[in-house]
Amino acid sequence: MASSGTGPRRVTIDDVARVVGVSRQTVSRALNDKGEIEASTKQRVLDAALELGYRPSRFARGLVRQDTTSVGLVIPDLLNPFFTEVAAAALEAARARGWHVVVYDTGDRVEEERGTLEVIASQVDAVVGYLTLPEDEIDKLTRGLPVVLIDREQRAERFSEIRIDGEAGVHAAIRYLVDSGHRHIGMLDHAARSEPSIRHTWFDAAMSACGLDSGTVSRADQSIEGGERALEQLLAEHPDVTAVFTFNDIIAIGALRAARRLGRQVPQDLAVIGFDGLQLGTLVEPPLTTVALDTRELGALAVEEAGRLLTRSGPLTHDEAAVKAELRLSGSA
């Protein structure tokens, strides 16, 4: 849920000076590697700054104009059209505010994400995006910056979150399949994380609510090829499956390709339902039935929340910070 507070006050140069027992001018000289300061004093200042998590103002370092707000937008994979749509919406919302946005693609790699946060901590006023590192590490790397997490349940009080509320949409999708006569329903979950996704949890709950045992699940890389491989594996192990729900639309499109190659007609022999609502899903044949959300709203809300944190005007409420996903019927189910 969205944070209920505005986060801790950022450590200032005066805090460092007070801890060390020197003037702020001495701290400035030490941090900027200026002369006229004893080596032992310089080291004490540097040690205190590190311990306190002090981040020199990017304005003081002359990186940008003082009337410009800069935001770091962290995206895991810009080759995935879902993330491209969210990034485009965030950029549009930021431009409307006159903000400068720097987009970082981590390639969905933890080390790249860590390096990205280390680099941007001193260059932006806030961080928005998809972060997978443990929260204590994010906290350490961002050093007091406002942080808005997208589609991740936040624990730390100082972070905010824009969440995807797709539970009702997934329940509607499974109910539709059951009402259409399907009893053997599988899922293609993502393989990027070791633990099941929240969408997997929603799927299990929906199956139970419809009086069915948990469906069979195969893990898929978040790509069209990953969806193809995962559906082939699922059907090889469970040939009685007549419908699949997928973690996202990209995986679903891969499932459509695999079904065609395996001689299964969609939706007559195999119904396929995705999740995201990408424009790309309307271009495939048959057009993709999906649990759709508004990516423009997702990106815009993330920027709005960053603005609220920067102005300390109070975060969005739990309900305001949610983007609902709803079943959108089309030709694949």
225, pLDDT greater than 80: yes
Check: CB of residue 246 under 8 Å from CB of residue 275.
Answer: yes
pTM of the model: 0.77
What residues contact 175, with CB distance under 8 A and at least 6 apart?
Answer: 206, 209, 210
Using a 10 angstrom Cβ sphere, with 0-12 exposed, 13-18 middle and 19 or more buried, the burial of residue 252 is: buried
Mean pLDDT of 59-84: 75
Q: Is the model's pLDDT at 302 over the cut of 80?
A: yes
* pLDDT tens-digit series, residues 162-216: 999 999 999 999 999 999 999 999 999 988 777 788 999 999 999 999 999 887 8
Lowest mean pLDDT among 47-61, 66-80, 243-257: 47-61
| Euclidean distance between CA atoms 144 and 132, whole angstroms | 18
Structure-token pair, residue 131: 């972060």
Q: What is the pLDDT of residues 40-71, one digit of tens each?
A: 888 888 888 777 777 655 444 444 444 578 99
Say whether pLDDT at 118 is over 90: no
Taking phi first (over 0 means left), then psi (-120 to 50 degrees means alpha), and beta for anything else, what does residue 331 get? Answer: alpha
pLDDT of residue 5 exceeding 50: no
